[in-house]
Structure 1
């Protein structure tokens, strides 16, 4: 009886843990329906005004609470996540899905982009008949978007494909918010306190790349969520190899690779930890139990993650790891530029001029990463001063994050998951990104959207160093706290202002 009660309580706790995610999805969906039914989405300045007001009152509320009870870092975490929600949801509401889109294609059944992929599932009820252009991608995002479009459109009653596809933004926006919600959980697993969580959450809450993904009708936001989820459950599985963590890890990888095969890059890190755990267990004569866990993980992750790839291999002879090719005669091709110019130089004179990234003209990966993490591949009709300040602050943030990673590796040796595991994971993501750019030398492959999880890791490193500095009273510690806090605050202000100024 006691065991049954304990299991019941455990199941209840897990359901309560899922409720915030369900509530976020429902809130975004209901708000979308209200805003679009009333036509408020056409009044960009009204939405941006509400965004600014929401951010202001959130920070004011945090300040008032601090005056009464003293500053609470735990409260700050919640406030920063709330600000992240406001910015992601607000940007999604006022931005049409055709604006700053990536690989969208025509909004018709005859197209070959992400829009047509969703429509084929929604209207025809089956997978694409070819693997042309974007149809080589696995279908989880597109299937989820088609389902959400189907049910929400029962209320919206749209007849035009262009209107129906606006609904698909709900999936990307939800995924962008869910990713932010996972960050404090990862910090918790890495044994970081509320100060570190607040700095990390504050950085990711104001990350422009996450805003841009939240309004896109493609699989970037959803695969980023599954990659972050896979990191969380890799850490949990490493610490406790129970069936719950095994199944959740398998689902994270399986559904992630069914969204976009690049999620499998994380498996290099996860696989290494699994082999290490298996080696230890076999030495302890517990190999049978860990063997069952690995088999269970594989039986979930591999069928979910690879069935579409196998299908396309059988039907279209599509190679494993296939990415759609662009002609080398296109201006976007960078393979005719030397390796040194692409990967080993940094043309500092181009940092502020031109302000925005141009995949058709640029070839230097470091420069493109700095700018595309802010603006992706687009230009914005706002005073040039704000994006230039953002570029300067973003460059400082990247340097601080890299410096923090090195510091964590040297000074946090007792916390092996943080000081060894997270830098290795960062290296895996970035090295596979570099390899991708060597194999597919095009301007668009340099976009930061492929490596957004590195920003999450950088935020964790900066939060860790900030926490350490708060425990010391030396001049270096004070300078460190001031630098991280000031740069993060200024970056957040400029990021929020920019996305509350731009038009559709």
Structure 2
């Protein structure tokens, strides 16, 4: 039986409340009780095992009409357990980027950025190092740390900053799952396709790795999903409320990371399409565009304008790397760097090596799963995850070529396809302009694996595969996703 929209909203509000409160309260309890990483790790093991048993039992007992909704609900729950659990047991300086020290402002690191906000109550006085980054993720995390400080016995700000710095990313990563599901619903995807998408998003290791570190990566992914969702929602129902939602999403997105401007291309096309297709309502769309600009521009651009006035740096400023350093890949040819797949490298190791690898697509495929990190857990689990990710990519490419030859194409399919292609082109351009190992990392564009699986689900519905092929594909994807989730859980419980 389908739930009403009002019931959906109630579940969403409860989900948001729990996602915001549980990480903060849990981290405060762990800090106050002095619970070590080993006990937390064991607790997460128990939570995952118990959750899995309850999940299977609940699904088996559910009626046919309720089963798929319950599966989606349990997927959200298990995904949150993994993100929150990893955040709790992962070390402060384990699998992080550019964090360094919390008690040394001269490092100009991401930790320094957070401590400027917590201790001094203002943005950094310089843009050097990591301090040029857009502030929303740090402002949000600083607010969470202030709340955490009130709940812990040890009020030392460096201690609070170190244990609380990850909580903002954890909350953002959990919220990404909710908005991925809302995107699927907005695209009117079938229940089986929604389950495929949410299973992949919930259990993708790159997602919970991002949840357990300070920085803007998890927030950038969240706002990119929100921007695409709100843009399509506005297109389907162009009212003032949806205009305001879209403006807020884009405003906070730009305040989080410059890459969040990319979905603006989709929004501009959708607005122009509305104006061209409905001349009688053109004044309405011009008015809504003005409302959008009036909200999104101040929210999104104030920090860029501040830095341009105060430091004289352009809106597109990034911290430049030194040519020829350990991460430099510019000595390799364009063919070597942009060839579709380096099979020798793919077979040699399931993990990306930021100092040695140079092929963009191979590196990106690996870092979607593991980031820039490697793990001591044998080869079966990592290769299982990598092969399934590769299999999904191959299916998507095949479906895209098949879709191109299709006569009738849905508008939303065009939108998703264009957005996916735009991101890929931008990633290629970025690596061309900045030929360094870290430029290939999927952590900057965690929206891409989400778009990949959403597009895969949408195209598989649209292409009307022959009966045998459709059943074969569905069975294969169910088996692959079950294996992917199992391998991801084993990885989650193995790493420390």
Same fold by TM-score greater than 0.5: yes
2:107 corresponds in structure 1 to: 111
Q: Kindly state the Cα deviation for residue 437 of structure 1 after the two structures are TM-superposed.
A: 1.0
Question: Among 418, 437, 440, which residue is 2:434 paired with?
Answer: 440
The answer on 1:430 being equivalent to 2:424 is yes
Scaled by the length of structure 1, what TM-score is found? Answer: 0.91
2:490 corresponds in structure 1 to: 497
Kindly tell me the number of residue pairs found equivalent between the two proteins: 489
Question: Among 470, 474, 477, which residue is 1:477 paired with?
Answer: 470
1:415 corresponds in structure 2 to: 410
Question: Among 479, 482, 488, which residue is 1:486 paired with?
Answer: 479
Q: Relative to 1, partners in 2 of residues 1:402 and 1:84: Cα closer, same or farther, differing over 3 Å?
A: farther
CA distance in 1, matches of 2:51, 2:18: 20
1:7 corresponds in structure 2 to: none
Unpaired runs of 5+ residues, structure 2, are none
Q: Relative to 1, partners in 2 of residues 1:55 and 1:373: Cα closer, same or farther, differing over 3 Å?
A: farther
The answer on 1:203 being equivalent to 2:200 is yes
1:242 corresponds in structure 2 to: 239
Query: What SS does the aligned partner of 2:101 have?
Result: coil
CA distance in 1, matches of 2:493, 2:408: 42
Q: Kindly state the Cα deviation for residue 63 of structure 1 after the two structures are TM-superposed.
A: 3.7
CA distance in 2, matches of 1:373, 1:19: 30
CA distance in 2, matches of 1:451, 1:366: 13
Q: Relative to 1, partners in 2 of residues 1:406 and 1:311: Cα closer, same or farther, differing over 3 Å?
A: same
Q: Kindly state the Cα deviation for residue 304 of structure 1 after the two structures are TM-superposed.
A: 1.3
Unpaired runs of 5+ residues, structure 1, are 1-9
The answer on 1:155 being equivalent to 2:151 is yes
Question: Among 26, 32, 41, which residue is 1:31 paired with?
Answer: 26
The answer on 1:140 being equivalent to 2:136 is yes
1:402 corresponds in structure 2 to: 397
Contact 1:58 1:83 in 2 (8 A): no
Query: What SS does the aligned partner of 1:191 have?
Result: coil
Q: Within 5 Å, which residues of 2 pair with 1:80-99? A: 80-99=75-94
Q: Kindly state the Cα deviation for residue 41 of structure 1 after the two structures are TM-superposed.
A: 4.5
Contact 2:149 2:160 in 1 (8 A): no
Q: Kindly state the Cα deviation for residue 71 of structure 1 after the two structures are TM-superposed.
A: 7.2
2:342 corresponds in structure 1 to: 347
Query: What SS does the aligned partner of 1:135 have?
Result: coil
Contact 1:176 1:213 in 2 (8 A): yes
Q: Within 5 Å, which residues of 2 pair with 1:452-471? A: 452-464=446-458
Report which stretch shifted further, 192-201 or 400-409: 400-409
Contact 2:204 2:488 in 1 (8 A): yes
Q: Kindly state the Cα deviation for residue 31 of structure 1 after the two structures are TM-superposed.
A: 2.2
Q: Kindly state the Cα deviation for residue 474 of structure 1 after the two structures are TM-superposed.
A: 2.2
CA distance in 2, matches of 1:42, 1:321: 40
CA distance in 2, matches of 1:370, 1:13: 34
Q: Relative to 1, partners in 2 of residues 1:452 and 1:13: Cα closer, same or farther, differing over 3 Å?
A: closer
2:370 corresponds in structure 1 to: 375
Scaled by the length of structure 2, what TM-score is found? Answer: 0.93
2:272 corresponds in structure 1 to: 275
Question: Among 444, 448, 455, which residue is 1:450 paired with?
Answer: 444
CA distance in 1, matches of 2:46, 2:277: 54
Contact 1:74 1:198 in 2 (8 A): no
Contact 1:41 1:47 in 2 (8 A): no
Report which stretch shifted further, 54-63 or 349-358: 54-63
Q: Kindly state the Cα deviation for residue 252 of structure 1 after the two structures are TM-superposed.
A: 0.5
CA distance in 1, matches of 2:263, 2:356: 31
Question: Among 154, 168, 172, which residue is 2:169 paired with?
Answer: 172
CA distance in 1, matches of 2:107, 2:465: 59
Question: Among 357, 360, 368, which residue is 2:355 paired with?
Answer: 360
CA distance in 1, matches of 2:370, 2:6: 43
Question: Among 216, 222, 226, which residue is 1:225 paired with?
Answer: 222
Contact 1:405 1:461 in 2 (8 A): no
| Deviation digits for residues 357-377 of structure 1 (CA, Å, limit 9, x no counterpart) | 111111100110111111111
Contact 1:168 1:217 in 2 (8 A): yes
